[in-house]
Amino acid sequence: MRDTYLRTIISKSRLLILTRLRYDSQYGGEPQVDVELQGPNELGNAYNDVLRNICRQLASLRFLVTSLALGLLLFGPASVAASSGHGTSGLQIYVPPAVVGRGSEARSRFTCPTVSGADTSVCSLNWSGYADTGSSGSYTSVSGSWSVPSLNCPTRGATYAAIWVGIDGYSDSTVEQTGLLADCSNGVASYALWYEFYPAALTTSSIAVSSGDSITASVTCTAVTGGASCNTTITDVTREQSFSSPTTTVSGASLASAEWIVERPELCSSFFCTLATLSPFGSAALTSTSGSISSLPDAAITMVSSSSGPVLAEPSGLLDGTTFTVAYG
């Protein structure tokens, strides 16, 4: 689940450049221009092949020009993203946040809101919620609960949201996570449960899920040489059905953060990718069932539309150190 929205990550400096690239390894890989046609948008004929080749050339030129023009201007923590197979093969779910401000005035003069009681407040293009941070090996389990939100779907178009818990992803190149997708398509809401051990592909469940259902989710990992051995379980308590992953070894997992997140995914069409319109979920109350969020170094994350705002989703302060509400809009 790693891709970038109009940006790339260059080595450890986490330089943000406004262009569209795929980055295969956070610290050692080479940025690749990605204009691969995907899913239902693929034309599947010779004309399409010509368009793809032309677009690759244009994208490569855009990368060179934009990198030279903007490379020294836009610095800040970067993110990695996660791919989803739900709804369309072009859907992407970011994992960690694309941070645009840290509790102070961003470069665009947007002031990132400060969440009361949080150790750190940051703004992100794609995340809203909380992350606990630490050193390698700090987190071996995380769990949470929430209710499936009732979406106020627009009559036309598509919107997307993901609610999940996970280990890693806030500041490193892997993520071990499980959660819920909540999508709208032309006025109709749909939901799906899923898990993923990035860089492996996301896996979705066929369990029917409805608004109002009670969800619990957990991720458990054990450090092993070169990474971690992890498994996930997500349960629709209302329907008494669970969806679990096999125990999986994730190479490079550092177990350095834990997260409780509402997220807007990325959509990839034939020639480019962009962040999705966030599903109008009203509010979502998440509870950590693995201990107090506030007892460890925590970051409250507000989702914004761009580096100049506006706010799309904002977390409340923590109630009893474990529960918070993410408010849409």
- Average pLDDT value for the chain: 76
| 109-126 pLDDT tens trace | 789 999 999 999 999 999
- 178 and 51, same structural domain? no
Task: Specify the higher pLDDT residue, 170 or 256.
Answer: 256
Q: Is residue 3 part of a domain?
A: no
If you average pLDDT over each of 17-21, 66-70, 223-227, 262-266, which comes out highest?
Answer: 223-227
**DSSP run (H or E) holding 50:** helix 46-70
How high is the pLDDT of residue 81?
A: 33
Tokens of 303: 């989702």
- 130 and 43, same structural domain? no
Owner of token pair 């970038």? 4
**Residue 22 predicted with pLDDT over 70:** no
| 126-143 pLDDT tens trace | 999 999 999 999 999 999
- Distance, CA of 324 to CA of 149 (rounded, Å): 15
Query: What value does the mean pLDDT take over residues 314-326?
Result: 98
| 198-237 pLDDT tens trace | 888 789 999 999 999 999 999 999 999 999 999 999 999 9
Q: Is residue 302 part of a domain?
A: yes
- 43 and 186, same structural domain? no
Q: What is the CATH number of the domain that holds 86?
A: 2.60.120.700
- 169 and 56, same structural domain? no
How high is the pLDDT of residue 14?
A: 23
**Residue 144 predicted with pLDDT over 50:** yes
- 22 and 168, same structural domain? no
- 128 and 230, same structural domain? yes
The domain boundary residue, chosen from 70, 98, 120 = 70
- The 3 state secondary structure assigned to 264-303 is CCEEECCCCEEECCECCCCEEEEEECCCCCCCCCEEEEEE
**Residue 32 predicted with pLDDT over 80:** no
| Residue 212 region by backbone torsions, left for phi larger than 0, else alpha for psi between -120 and 50, else beta | left
Counting the structural domains of the chain, the total is: 2
**Residue 83 predicted with pLDDT over 70:** no
How high is the pLDDT of residue 93?
A: 56
For the chain, percent of residues with pLDDT exceeding 90 = 59
**Residue 312 predicted with pLDDT over 90:** yes
Query: What value does the mean pLDDT take over residues 233-243?
Result: 98
- 26 and 167, same structural domain? no
First-last CA distance in the chain: 25
**Residue 108 predicted with pLDDT over 70:** no
How high is the pLDDT of residue 272?
A: 81
Question: Residue 148 belongs to what domain range?
Answer: 81-328
The contacts of residue 261 (CB under 8 Å, 6+ apart) are 127, 128, 129, 130, 131, 162, 163, 164, 165, 166, 179, 301
